[in-house]
Structure 1
Amino acid sequence: MLGGVETRSVSPVFVGRDEELGALHDALARAAAGEPQALLVGGEAGVGKTRLLEEFTAAAARRDAVVALGGCVEIGADGLPFAPFSTALRALRRQMPEELAEAAAGQEDELARLLPELGEVRRGPRDDEEGMARLFELTARLLERIAARRTVVLALEDLHWADASTRHLLAYLLRTLRSGRLVVVATYRSDDIHRRHPLRPLLAELDRLRTVHRIELGRFNRTEVERQIAGIFAADPDPAQVDDIFARSDGNAFFVEELAVAAQDSCGTGLTDSLRDLLLVRVEALPETAQRVARTVAEGGSTVEYRLLAAVASLAEEDLIEALRAAVGANILLATPDGDGYRFRHSLVREAVSDDLLPGERSRLNRRYAEALEADPALVPADQRATRLASYWYHAHDAAKALPAVLDAAVEARRRHAHSEQLRLLERAMELWDLAPEDVRAALRPVDYAEVYPPCGCDPATTPLRYLDLMAEAAVAGRLCGERERALKITRRALRLLEEDPDPLRAAWFWVQRSRLVQNTGRGDGWKELATAQELVRGLPPSEVHAEVLAMVAGWSMLHEPGPDAFSAAERAVEYARMVGARDIELNARLTLGGLLVDAGDIDAGLAEIYEVRERAAVFGEVYVRGRLQVNLPSHLEGIGRSREAVEVMREGLEITRKLGLTDSEAWVWANLGESLHSLGRWDEAAEAGINSERVGQSAKPRAFRATIHAHLALCRGDLAEAGRQLAAARAYLGTHDSVPQQELRLDHVAIGIAAGEGRLIDARATLATVLNRGFPLGTQRYGWPLLLAAATAEADALGLPAAEPGRAETLERIRDTAKTLAANVPVWQAYACWVRAELLRAEGRGTPDVWAEAVTAFEALDRPYDLARVRHRLAESLLAPGCDEDARERAAELLRLAGAVADHLGARPLADSVALLARRARLTLSRVPEPAALDPAESLGLTNRERDVLRLVAIGRSNRQIAEELFISPKTASVHVSNILAKLGVAGRGEAAAVAHRLRLFPAEAPPVQAAG
């Protein structure tokens, strides 16, 4: 409508910024090569951030990049949740509809939280622990897929106004993006970032990322100011005038424009040095109607839609258009890019106009905005409606209208996983509660506003909403967004209120929340709070709260104190959840029950329960239960020695957790995979799995597990220093507030091994004594047997050392007595029991070939190559006792050859050294002269075993990502292997490599080669 209006205060000449623009263009080039880029552009207000961004995005578009611009939207003092991402995704959908639809396929119901146009938001569990992380992961993956074949520039403006959820999403995106032709550019006002500004911690965090580059825009020098003024005047300016403008603007590009236009319009005389006066002078020069429209736009938010403005301004359409034409012509207002609304050309002018409003004028304008939006909700986009209406009514100081509007906005924020904004809105609702009339509060219903906390036996459709319901919502929102201290304060206040007006179920629910928060903040293990909740519900009729308390008690006990009490709590949780129809609690409790059954030795029944939960959770779409199941099931399989089966389950688990965006669950699956691969003797893959676990996970406990895996690998390979570093890292991740036996036993096992390897037998004994004093809870035999073995082996290796004799007999006796108490109900732990018994006899100088032969036989039936190699070495050692015959020597030599081959393959240096030393002492030759055999073509080409595996998949047309998933390596590692293979084969591409493999019959059992993926 007003697109042809001249904007003469914007210089047509782009001045300076060569270095900064060059950095942006370099980032664009690297992104086009497949390396995603992230840049933060900071500078004071008016220094030219937007102009630089416009220049860069225009150049990017000319290079066929897709540009998606999103700005943080301010309404009063409020920001809209995820506003810049929603706007940018909407722009991508307009420009790349097919690509975005394909990238979002299967996850539309989740991604609709950011882009409502994708469909209906799926209703998740009431207390979705991973909801926000899942949304973030799916968003990152969406952008990677969209940018897979075409360069995309995602430009986000005005981060200083960003809501907390936007900041969290941006941080996640910049931490996790590793592929795609994507450039993320974000701007912010550096002069607004005071010491307590919420953006400051984010900037500090991003500064630590090597993948994020900071660009700081400084002010113009005099030469640049002169060029800018010449562009505005379209003529060479008077040097004296340049000196004056440069001195007064201090090189700020926006102030230069304002002063230049003021001078050109002959209104520079009498202009004060006050910044506010400088910004208002041209507004005050507008006709009165245009000034009124400008004031109306200033209070409406960063951008105001034309139809909303028309409803609020109360002007005839012709008068409104004339006023807008005057404001746009004076370059005070600009039409938005889509032509649907108006904004101030610069936010500094908007702030000056808004600050110039009288208090009554501001509240009156907000009321008019609220009334217009209430009368016609279609005046603003659907995803902004609730938040804007809440803000308008709040700033109109009308508690009766503001309270329900704020609560509606909180529900919308919760639906979008914008929990930080939900918490802020709920705190605002609590502020308004006593100010709102009683009849307004009485009309509010829990069914509309209290999702996370059922109203305990009351009908939520007829019972009035209570202040405690708001506190419950706020407590959960605080926990989910990481504001745990605020959440703890809310639960403390709630429990004080419940002391005055007792309600056992409500109190129990709040104690459960405190238990979670205490654990999350590192203040304890949460049991005292759970025990209080359990006592409060004791004897009460079944309810959802009762079922949740029991499920939480069972889950806590399974990790900390497994036994009959845990089993009883799990059974009752399942029963109560069924009675009240709480399916999510039922499935969660059944998963716990199945795990307790497995740990108690009823393996078939326990696994049957877990597999049934897996089927039902998939049918009903219970995301949290599915994520937990992908972690627990393979862990239980590993615990009973079924490592290969566990690996197969985890293949599926990785696919499921990735698809659902469950990053922490995926991290746990990778960590568990590392443990199982270590058991199977696939140590390089185990190390890679550990790295992947750290790459995708955000919380500390999966990282602790990963560090434990690396510590164990380093110990087995003889790198005691690295094992010590990884052990220290694992302990740091776990902290001291929540001791879980399975974690402590893993770490103590490694600590004993390190101490023994460094000759610190006394320290190894001290660690063992601490463990034995604590005892081995039910179900911890999978950690107990290896630990006892490490301690017994340390004693046996120290046999004959005088310093080791004091305390030896007592230590061996304690190990032997403890071993009698550990379950050995499956072959793997029966084998360990044989091994521990053999090491104890060796420690007493009573080891015999028969004892070691029993251990070898037990491990030969298992898929544990490293363990088998170790017991074979010990059997060989016992066979080579003084006076042994030639048959014994030949058998020992064969055992050592087998053990040495495994040790060399795995890089298990201590075992390899022990095998070689024993062979030298016995004067045995372990190497054999190989029989003549046909030369392996792969060996002649110099291919390693891993490169053969990769080439086999290349030959059947697998992409790098598919290769990575099948071999449990990263796509980058797969790419490196492919490059090495191409070089060794002397070919230019994957298709030629597949042809060579086929021609040389490297993989005769495979299908004929197909065209390799690009």
Structure 2
Amino acid sequence: MLHDMRTNPLSPVFVGRGPERAALAEGLAAADAGGPQAVLIGGEAGVGKTRLVDQFLDEARALGALTAVGACVEAGADGLPFAPVSMVLRALHRQLGEELTRAATGFGGELARLLPELGEPTAPMGTARDVEVRARLFELTARLLESLAQERLLVLAIEDLHWSDRSTRELLAYLFRSLQRGRLLIITTYRSDDIHRRHPLRPFLGELDRLRTVRRLELDRFTRDEVRSQLAGIRGSQPSDDLLDHVYRRSDGNAFFVEELASVSCGARPGMISDSVRDLLLVRVEALPETAQRVVRIAAEGGSCVEYGLLRAVVGLGEDELIEALRSAVGASILIPQDDGSYGFRHALVREAVDDDLLPGERSRISRRFAEVLEAAPELVASEQRPARLATYWYHAHDPAKALPAVVSAATDARCRHAYAEQLHLLERGLELWDSAPDEVRSGLRVAYEAESYPLCACDDPALSFLDMLAEMTLAARFAGEPERGLSVVKRALRVLDTMEGVGHPLRAAWFWTERSRLTRWLGRGSGWDELGTAQRLLEGFPPSGVHARVLTEAAAWGAVHQPDEDSLALAERAVELCREVGDEKAEVDALLSRGALLVEIGRGEEGLADMRAVAERVKRFDLVAAFTRSHVNLQSVLESMGRSDESLAVANEGIRLAHRYGLRDTQSWIHGNRADALFSLGRWDESEAAAVDARRTAQHPVTVSLAAERLVRLALARGDLETAETELALMSEHGSVAPQYAHPQAHYRITLAALRGRILDARQLLAEAIREGLAPGTGVYTWPMVDAGAQAESAARGVPAAEPGASEAIAAIREFAATLPRRYPVWAAWAQLVEAELRRADGTARAADWAAVAEAFDGLSRPFQRARVELRWAEALVAEGDRERAAELLARAHAAARPMGARLLVEEAERLAQRARLPLTPEQARAEGPGGDASFGLTPRERDVLALVAAGRSNRQIAEELFISPKTASVHVSNILAKLEVSGRGEAAALAHRLGIVGAERDATPAA
């Protein structure tokens, strides 16, 4: 109604900000070229962030861009999730109409959670819910924006990020990372002076600083000359020096304060301005008529923006009187009409000052009035804001009887919108209100949605309702990525259950113990088995239920990771049967996946793969999104474990497509990580590194961050980049799970790194500790490489004096442990033979035939790196046994295979062996050296003469006399020869010279002059 009114005194001249405008223009140009960009603008309150954005949006529109603006509201802290994103989408919908609806075809019902104009929200796909659906919501939002930005330049602005809810921050972070194409620029603003050390925006900003497509701008206060220009624009004439000094000193260059001071300085009485900033901000308000002041005070308590209808109902004025009051407030530049018909404060500082000026009783009375009006006429507020706004109003009205149900209802709405951090915040507020609420209110509360098999209360016991709330808090904390808070809530619930003497609620206790197991594992504080055991004991004697299905399924999943044996398989079998009995499809597919993995582990691979492939097909056919988070990940993992890397890679590629379709970012990290495994095994190391980087880019939890580092450690060690390996190993070690799939790779890489650093005693201790842990042997893909690392360390240390003490005991311990490991699949059997061959090399008993057998075991397994390593060892043994022709063939083949992979250490070892044994590595070398090979071994002609005499048993003095040189020169020659031949003494040099033909009889008889 008052939308066309201008607010004064805003300067008609835009002042300064040259570097910032240039940076925004650069971002706009980069976005227009097809690469999505983001700009974060920070600055203290009142410094001019909004004016800069408004100016830039005008310029962008002049260039043909479509713009939309949203703003975070202070109610976001009380659980109003995604508010600015919804505002942006609603603004786009107003401008594009059916075009936006068409762009959302196929998933409009899911995006309706953010934009109700798209229709009723659809139910989750298949059995999907919670985190999976939330991730899909993020992905679909990104797709919608990418689609709209294909044909036009799109500029979106989100203001006041310092008030943003966590869900909004996480959605924005997802967009900044995942948007890959489209002419799109996103601008955000935030108050830098509000970002204290523990403010939740601080880590968000730090994370975004690492993104290439995100730039940050910090607005400074105006200089004195800029204040002069601003005053001239506001007043229409140049200010006097006295006025400029006065305003600049009092405002300190803050643009908003300059405006306020300019307005009161126009004819103001001396002493009108208080030294208090709040008093300064209230000057305009106090100059309004009394009715307008009352409207402004009520609007301040209503939120950042208040709908006209709601404000009218709360104020209680006639329409004409209200419009007149609003006209005064708008004319004084206190309120601004919004596009949606609501009214907001021109600057948040004014609203804060007005709100702070309210008396405590006055504030709670106004909040109560807002709550009562909204309850009576809910249509006055947008449906997606209504629950959170009502909860906020009742909470600030200090009425627990009304606030507690409103808060619980808002928490329910937040969960339905997949805003778990806000749900958790609201439920915590509910706990705060719990003891103050009347008994009849508490006993009347009911959880309106299922809490993952949690048994809802069936009586009016208030304590049970309290447990229901704690159950929802547990899940909200888990889904929000706050396991510490979740574990704290679980412990509180178990304490409550312990105090309920004579009542007993074993099903609820079993549910909480199962959650405690999961959170304990997630935090890396134990295996979680004791907690699962407690849960199972609590269920004894009770008829089958959803809780039984959940507990047994969790136990089966635990067994697949920690103890893959017949007992765990039997548990998984029972879990499958029980899930079918109680009709829990989600738990059933989880149990089937665990059963499949366990069948693979005990050697019934085809049966296990059949289970897992069947689940994967069900996932694709029926969009079982929740099951997908395990189906393809586990299937590709067991295929890799069985040595079927090509099949694993095919499943991974399909999984990536589905993960993108479902919008599951962290699941993408698991799949990319497994892709890295398969590509590493296949010798495609550059691709493996790219997959590992993708795994890190999409990781959202400590486990997936650690696993991404694991893949990069492996590559760094194989390439000989020890510094990178140490850095990544530190990141990998932050997740301290004792499961073999985590613990054994960590031990493997620590052992390898210690051995490469020459610390054989450390390597022995690390392997001994891993063996002493008493862990289940685990799977071949995790445990055999760890044992092989220990065997390689002993093999490499052979002959090193410091390594000799304890070597035989270490070798025996490795053999003993290896004998306990399964060899059920060809790749596991090949690892077993490789370990034994390395141990024989370590104790000096290895023969060429041993390595030939290992090579045969790796035939057809698509393991080029291991095959190259085996051929190098085989060639080494053949050289020692005198078969130089076959050794040369194998050595050249190993070298040729290792180089394109980037296996630097293996390449260098092959080159050293070739040098020592005078063997060519390439056909060119073979042609250059001729049939007899190069007998120089890097020796000069004079050194060959000296070596001939060393081989003949001459002393240095005798060599000097025979070659007419000094004894000192002869000694120098001998030292050089020993170094080039890499031998430790004259006898060994003589033996090597005779064995390899470096010297001949004619050279012994007739030394060169």
Q: TM-score, normalised by structure 2?
A: 0.84
Q: Number of aligned residue pairs: give it.
A: 921
Residue 580 of structure 1 and its aligned partner are, at CA, apart by 2.1
* 2:831 is the alignment partner of 1:829: no
Secondary structure at the aligned position of 1:868 is classed as: helix
The counterpart of 2:612, out of the listed 610, 613, 632, is 610
Per the alignment, residue 454 of structure 2 pairs with 454
Q: Residue 857 of structure 2 aligns to which amino acid in structure 1?
A: A
* 2:288 is the alignment partner of 1:289: no
Q: Residue 352 of structure 2 aligns to which amino acid in structure 1?
A: E
CA distance in structure 2 between the partners assigned to 1:713 and 1:307 by the alignment: 63
CA distance in structure 1 between the partners assigned to 2:145 and 2:910 by the alignment: 53
Q: Percent identity?
A: 54
Per the alignment, residue 256 of structure 1 pairs with 258
Change (3 A) 1:841 1:291: closer
Change (3 A) 1:110 1:600: farther
Per the alignment, residue 223 of structure 1 pairs with 225
Change (3 A) 1:636 1:381: same
Q: 594-603 or 526-535: which moved more?
A: 526-535
Does the 8 A contact of 2:76 with 2:163 survive in 1?
no
Q: 550-559 or 123-132: which moved more?
A: 123-132
Q: Residue 900 of structure 1 aligns to which amino acid in structure 2?
A: H
Per the alignment, residue 307 of structure 2 pairs with 305
Does the 8 A contact of 1:453 with 1:473 survive in 2?
no
CA distance in structure 1 between the partners assigned to 2:923 and 2:618 by the alignment: 56
Residue 663 of structure 1 and its aligned partner are, at CA, apart by 1.6
CA distance in structure 2 between the partners assigned to 1:295 and 1:388 by the alignment: 18
Q: Residue 858 of structure 1 aligns to which amino acid in structure 2?
A: A
Alignment of 1:927-946 (within 5 A): 927-928=922-923
Per the alignment, residue 429 of structure 1 pairs with 430
Does the 8 A contact of 1:410 with 1:422 survive in 2?
yes
CA distance in structure 1 between the partners assigned to 2:876 and 2:5 by the alignment: 94
CA RMSD of aligned residues (A): 3.2
Does the 8 A contact of 2:411 with 2:426 survive in 1?
yes
Residue 410 of structure 1 and its aligned partner are, at CA, apart by 0.6
Q: 849-858 or 299-308: which moved more?
A: 849-858
Unmatched tracts of structure 2, length 5 or more: 927-1009
Does the 8 A contact of 1:407 with 1:449 survive in 2?
no
Q: Deviations over 1:269-294 (max 9, x none)?
A: 74544433433333333333333322
Per the alignment, residue 583 of structure 1 pairs with 585
Per the alignment, residue 509 of structure 2 pairs with 507
Secondary structure at the aligned position of 1:156 is classed as: strand
* 2:740 is the alignment partner of 1:734: no
Change (3 A) 1:397 1:457: closer
Residue 211 of structure 1 and its aligned partner are, at CA, apart by 5.1
Does the 8 A contact of 2:455 with 2:547 survive in 1?
no
Q: Residue 377 of structure 2 aligns to which amino acid in structure 1?
A: D
Q: Residue 85 of structure 2 aligns to which amino acid in structure 1?
A: F
Q: 21-30 or 411-420: which moved more?
A: 21-30
The counterpart of 1:701, out of the listed 700, 703, 712, is 703
Change (3 A) 1:268 1:201: farther
Residue 741 of structure 1 and its aligned partner are, at CA, apart by 1.3
Per the alignment, residue 518 of structure 1 pairs with 520
Residue 597 of structure 1 and its aligned partner are, at CA, apart by 1.0
Per the alignment, residue 167 of structure 2 pairs with 165
CA distance in structure 2 between the partners assigned to 1:828 and 1:76 by the alignment: 55
Q: Residue 398 of structure 2 aligns to which amino acid in structure 1?
A: H
Larger C-alpha radius of gyration, 1 or 2?
2
Does the 8 A contact of 1:445 with 1:464 survive in 2?
no
Q: Deviations over 1:538-591 (max 9, x none)?
A: 332222122212222222232223323422332232222222222212211221
Secondary structure at the aligned position of 2:436 is classed as: coil
CA distance in structure 2 between the partners assigned to 1:53 and 1:364 by the alignment: 37
Per the alignment, residue 763 of structure 1 pairs with 762
Q: Deviations over 1:603-637 (max 9, x none)?
A: 11111111122223334433232022221111100
* 2:857 is the alignment partner of 1:858: yes
CA distance in structure 2 between the partners assigned to 1:772 and 1:417 by the alignment: 44
Change (3 A) 1:798 1:283: closer
Does the 8 A contact of 1:127 with 1:452 survive in 2?
no
Q: Residue 857 of structure 1 aligns to which amino acid in structure 2?
A: E
Per the alignment, residue 753 of structure 2 pairs with 754
Change (3 A) 1:530 1:392: same
Secondary structure at the aligned position of 1:862 is classed as: coil
Residue 70 of structure 1 and its aligned partner are, at CA, apart by 0.8
CA distance in structure 2 between the partners assigned to 1:463 and 1:63 by the alignment: 62
Unmatched tracts of structure 1, length 5 or more: 932-1014
Secondary structure at the aligned position of 1:12 is classed as: coil
CA distance in structure 2 between the partners assigned to 1:785 and 1:266 by the alignment: 85
CA distance in structure 2 between the partners assigned to 1:496 and 1:185 by the alignment: 47
Does the 8 A contact of 1:893 with 1:925 survive in 2?
yes
CA distance in structure 2 between the partners assigned to 1:721 and 1:397 by the alignment: 59
CA distance in structure 2 between the partners assigned to 1:621 and 1:628 by the alignment: 13
Alignment of 1:231-250 (within 5 A): 231-250=233-252
Alignment of 1:350-429 (within 5 A): 350-429=351-430
Per the alignment, residue 665 of structure 2 pairs with 663
Q: Residue 700 of structure 1 aligns to which amino acid in structure 2?
A: P
CA distance in structure 1 between the partners assigned to 2:374 and 2:910 by the alignment: 82
Does the 8 A contact of 2:823 with 2:829 survive in 1?
yes
Change (3 A) 1:484 1:928: closer
Q: Residue 826 of structure 1 aligns to which amino acid in structure 2?
A: Y
Does the 8 A contact of 1:193 with 1:199 survive in 2?
yes
Q: Residue 568 of structure 1 aligns to which amino acid in structure 2?
A: A
CA distance in structure 2 between the partners assigned to 1:221 and 1:310 by the alignment: 43
* 2:10 is the alignment partner of 1:15: no
Q: 85-94 or 111-120: which moved more?
A: 111-120
Residue 73 of structure 1 and its aligned partner are, at CA, apart by 1.6
The counterpart of 2:690, out of the listed 677, 688, 706, is 688
CA distance in structure 2 between the partners assigned to 1:844 and 1:521 by the alignment: 42
Residue 59 of structure 1 and its aligned partner are, at CA, apart by 1.1
Change (3 A) 1:727 1:48: closer
Per the alignment, residue 784 of structure 1 pairs with 783
Does the 8 A contact of 1:367 with 1:392 survive in 2?
yes
Q: Residue 90 of structure 1 aligns to which amino acid in structure 2?
A: R
Q: Residue 399 of structure 1 aligns to which amino acid in structure 2?
A: P
Change (3 A) 1:253 1:548: same
Does the 8 A contact of 1:76 with 1:300 survive in 2?
no
Residue 477 of structure 1 and its aligned partner are, at CA, apart by 1.4
Q: Deviations over 1:361-393 (max 9, x none)?
A: 333332332233223322221211111122222
Q: Deviations over 1:770-815 (max 9, x none)?
A: 3333456354223333333343344445555565554444344333
Does the 8 A contact of 2:9 with 2:333 survive in 1?
yes
Change (3 A) 1:925 1:5: closer
Does the 8 A contact of 2:792 with 2:838 survive in 1?
yes
Change (3 A) 1:195 1:534: same
Residue 204 of structure 1 and its aligned partner are, at CA, apart by 4.6
Change (3 A) 1:265 1:325: farther
Per the alignment, residue 85 of structure 2 pairs with 85
* 2:786 is the alignment partner of 1:816: no
CA distance in structure 1 between the partners assigned to 2:672 and 2:878 by the alignment: 41
The counterpart of 1:899, out of the listed 894, 899, 908, is 894
CA distance in structure 1 between the partners assigned to 2:437 and 2:113 by the alignment: 31
Change (3 A) 1:96 1:921: same
Does the 8 A contact of 1:426 with 1:470 survive in 2?
yes
CA distance in structure 2 between the partners assigned to 1:835 and 1:584 by the alignment: 42
Q: Residue 555 of structure 2 aligns to which amino acid in structure 1?
A: V
Does the 8 A contact of 2:455 with 2:507 survive in 1?
no
Q: Deviations over 1:89-142 (max 9, x none)?
A: 222333445765566454444433333334414347697345545544444454
Change (3 A) 1:280 1:577: same
Does the 8 A contact of 1:445 with 1:465 survive in 2?
no
Does the 8 A contact of 1:41 with 1:185 survive in 2?
yes
Per the alignment, residue 956 of structure 2 pairs with none
Secondary structure at the aligned position of 2:819 is classed as: helix
Per the alignment, residue 41 of structure 1 pairs with 41
CA distance in structure 2 between the partners assigned to 1:610 and 1:773 by the alignment: 33
